[in-house]
Amino acid sequence: MPKLHILPSDISCDVEKGTNLLEALRAAGIFLDAPCGGNGRCGKCTVTADGQEVLACQTIVENDMQVLIPDGKGLYVMQSGIDTDIQMDPVRPGPLLAIDIGTTSVVCFLLDGTDGRELATSSSLNPQTAFGADVISRIRAAMSDQLDQERDLIRQELTRLITDVCSKTDTDPAGIGVVSVVGNPAMQQLFLGIMPDNLAAIPFAPVLTEMKTVPCRDILPVCENALLLVVPDISGYVGADTLGCVLSTKMYESDELTLMVDIGTNGEMVLGNRDRMIACSTAAGPALEGANIRFGMRGTDGAIDHVKLEDGEIRCTVIGGGTATGICGSGLIDAVAVSLDANLINKRGRIASEDEIEGQRFIPLRDGIYLTQDDIRQVQLAKGAICAGVRLMAGQLGKSVTDISRVLLAGAFGSFMDPDSACTIGLLPEELRGRITAVGNAAGSGAKLLARDRSEMKLAQDLKEKIEFLELASLKQFSGTFAKSMNFP
Domains of the chain: 3-68 (3.10.20.30), 96-246+444-450 (3.30.420.480)
**What is the helix (H) or strand (E) element at residue 185, kind and residue range?**
helix 185-192
What is the rounded CA–CA span in Å between residue 289 and residue 408?
19
> What's the gap between Cα 277 and its chain centre?
23
Mean pLDDT of 240-259: 96
Mean pLDDT of 156-178: 96
Helix (H, G, I), strand (E, B) or coil at 453: strand
Q: Confidence class of residue 71 from pLDDT cuts 50, 70 and 90?
A: low
CA-based nearest residue to 387, from 428, 330, 434? 428
Q: Is the pLDDT confidence value at 475 over 60?
A: yes
More confident residue, 84 or 316: 316
Cβ atoms 189, 208 nearer than 8 A: yes
Cα separation, 228 vs 233, in Å, equals: 16
Lowest mean pLDDT among 129-138, 438-447, 448-457: 129-138
65 CB neighbour count, 10 Å cutoff: 19
Neighbours of 459 (CB within 10 A): 18
In this prediction, residue 180 has a pLDDT band, given cuts at 50, 70 and 90, of: very high
> Which whole number is the average pLDDT over 327-351?
95
Higher local confidence (pLDDT), 420 or 57: 420
* 238-267: average pLDDT: 92
Rounded distance, CA 371 to CA 369, Å?
7
Minimal CA–CA distance to 390: which of 484, 260, 239, 276?
260
In this prediction, residue 72 has a pLDDT band, given cuts at 50, 70 and 90, of very low
Give the whole-number percent of the chain exceeding pLDDT 70. Answer: 94
* 100 pLDDT higher than 90: yes
Closest to 382 (Cα-Cα) out of 245, 265, 269, 489: 265
| Lowest pLDDT segment from 117-131, 224-238, 286-300 | 286-300
Beta strands in 373-435 (DSSP E): 406-410
3-state DSSP assignment of residue 215: strand
Which pTM value belongs to this model? 0.83
